[in-house]
């Protein structure tokens, strides 16, 4: 008999947590990769898109005082497929504002940071708006020291536009999606194949 690991439960369709989306509708989510059985899949790569800008400032908060939108605290870890923490991993984030517009002239809602000694990161931002043809998402580049860059995108549960977005992947949906103290909180662990 196969060992009942988290991976096996996912294959059987038995480990699909529910989340409540932006529109209040419960949504079944595929679990994001995490290290429970020691043999995890790498976080899927996705397109960088046309709006990446190099040379962003190093910062954990992308929010300015007058910025419109629902505040979001995103936390998580960068791990290897063998469940090892990845300290000093570089994470670059960029996203649309609450109206769905990207700042292509400056660094509004753009920044980078390094994971701490335990592979953890924390980002203060806003829930991104929709723009034509896309659902709400945050672009991320993740790079372990002296390793190739993984570019991906993070998505949010319960957004009606998820079903119409050809790039949307349920395994890139943030977890722990909830309201806390007037802001949204979410979590995502990035898993890198470091060989």
CATH number at residue 175: 2.60.130.10
- Residue-level pLDDT at 189: 98
Q: Considering its fold, how many domains does the chain have in total?
A: 1
Whether residue 185 contacts residue 27, with contact meaning beta carbons closer than 8 Å, is answered with no
- Residue-level pLDDT at 178: 95
- Residue-level pLDDT at 15: 42
- Residue-level pLDDT at 89: 98
What value does the CA radius of gyration of the chain take, rounded to a whole number of Å? 16
DSSP state of 182: T
For residue 11, give the H/E element and its range.
Answer: helix 6-12
Per the document, the length of the chain is: 195
C-alpha 62/C-alpha 124 separation (Å) is 6
Q: Supply the pTM of this predicted model.
A: 0.81
What's the CA angle centered on 114, arms 108 and 119, to 5 degrees? 130
Whether residue 134 contacts residue 165, with contact meaning beta carbons closer than 8 Å, is answered with yes
Structural domain contains residue 188: yes
C-alpha 53/C-alpha 105 separation (Å) is 9
Whether residue 43 contacts residue 33, with contact meaning beta carbons closer than 8 Å, is answered with yes
Say whether 2 sits in a helix, a strand or coil.
coil
Terminal C-alpha separation, the chain = 29
In a structure prediction context, what are the per-residue pLDDT tens digits for the chain, which is 195 residues long?
344 444 444 444 444 444 445 555 444 444 444 465 555 789 999 998 888 889 999 999 999 989 999 999 999 999 999 999 999 999 999 999 999 999 999 999 999 999 999 999 999 999 999 988 999 999 999 999 999 999 999 999 999 999 999 999 999 999 999 999 889 999 999 999 998
- Residue-level pLDDT at 39: 56
Whether residue 22 contacts residue 137, with contact meaning beta carbons closer than 8 Å, is answered with no
Structural domain contains residue 56: yes
Query: Which residues span the domain enclosing 142?
Result: 6-192
Give the CA count within 13 Å in the CB-facing half-sphere of 26. Answer: 4
- Residue-level pLDDT at 50: 81
Structural domain contains residue 1: no
Structural domain contains residue 35: yes
- Residue-level pLDDT at 51: 85
């Amino acid at each position: 008999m196969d060992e009942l690991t988290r991976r096996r439960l996912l294959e059987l369709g038995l480990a699909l947590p529910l989340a409540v989306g932006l529109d209040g509708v419960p949504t079944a989510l595929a679990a994001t990769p995490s290290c429970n059985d020691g043999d995890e899949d790498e976080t899927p790569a996705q397109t960088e898109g046309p709006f990446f800008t190099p040379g962003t400032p190093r910062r954990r908060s992308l929010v300015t005082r007058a910025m419109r939108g629902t505040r979001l605290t995103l936390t998580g870890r960068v791990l290897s497929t063998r469940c090892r923490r990845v300290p000093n991993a570089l994470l670059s984030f960029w996203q649309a504002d609450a109206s769905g517009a990207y700042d292509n002239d400056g660094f509004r809602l753009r920044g980078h940071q390094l994971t701490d000694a335990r592979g953890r990161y924390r980002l203060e931002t806003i829930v991104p708006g929709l723009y034509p043809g896309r659902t709400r998402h945050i672009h991320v580049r993740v790079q372990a020291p002296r390793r190739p860059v993984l570019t991906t995108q993070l998505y949010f549960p319960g957004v009606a536009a998820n079903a119409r977005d050809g790039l949307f992947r349920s395994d890139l949906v943030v977890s722990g999606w909830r309201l806390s103290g007037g802001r949204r909180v979410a979590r995502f662990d990035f898993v890198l194949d470091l060989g």
